[in-house]
Chains A and B, each alone.
Chain A
């Protein structure tokens, strides 16, 4: 079955702009989590969505937001981009509720560069 798909793979934006990243989870998975990875801070949790509801949120400013649609696809948005937002943004999907096979499967990520 298809894995986690993130689009676009690469993106270049200018400071002050906003950006929307997309994630399509594995079919049947209802939980989508987003992570930011930078050389200085490593992998950091942004937020998690399940059944169109944000279930958990990491320690990021309000410029970072997300949503999940009824088909479990998720988007994250970053407004008023700063140079420090340059990072690899990773999406992970999991079944999300119950069962033992609840491991997270990651996409290839979106490499965002802010100039």
Chain B
């Protein structure tokens, strides 16, 4: 799986948009960008994923650059409950991996997002 680079920490004011960047310059053609977050002492939570088009769901938006070497996760109206570590992961999605190959998630250090009141 391609390596990702994320800032160690970021702050965001409550109610404002939180924009979390991720660099993945070595991403290969069949690798998707996934985002998970982990609120303190809980299990990681899936947020969103995408290949090359921008994606949006009820939690967040994912903007992937045209060359796919970087992406940004956007939380449009951050709340205090969005304070968490956010992980950007690039990998081949499970449904494209043949049986017997690695399917695990490889987590980096992530970005600690702190939403301030």
Contact = CB atoms under 8 A, between A and B. Distances in A.
Given A56-B102, A94-B94, A108 B107 contact: no
Given A55-B100, A99-B95, A102-B95, A43 B107 contact: yes
B30 interface: no
Contacts of B109: 42
Contact of A103 (B46, B87, B100, B104): B46
B8 interface: no
Interface string B43-78: 111100100000000000000000000000000000
Contacts, number: 59
Interface residues of B, number: 22
Contacts of B102: 56
Interface in A21-71: 31, 33, 35, 42-45, 48, 55-56, 58
A18 B94 CA distance: 33
B45 to A, nearest CB: 7
Contacts of A103: 46, 49
A87 interface: no
Contact of B44 (A43, A96, A99): A43
Q: Please report whether the interface of chain A is mostly helix, strand, loop or mixed according to DSSP.
A: strand
A25 to B, nearest CB: 13
A100 interface: yes
B95 A108 contact: no
Given A42-B107, A56-B103, A90 B43 contact: yes
Nearest to B43: A106
A107 B43 contact: yes
A103 B94 CA distance: 8
Interface residues of A, number: 31
Given A42-B107, A48-B104, 16 more contacts: A4-B43, A42-B108, A43-B87, A43-B105, A43-B107, A88-B41, A91-B43, A96-B94, A98-B95, A103-B46, A105-B46, A106-B43, A106-B45, A108-B42, A109-B42, A109-B43
Interface of B: 41-46, 49, 87, 93-95, 99-109
Interface of A: 4, 31, 33, 35, 42-45, 48, 55-56, 58, 88, 90-92, 94, 96-100, 102-109, 111
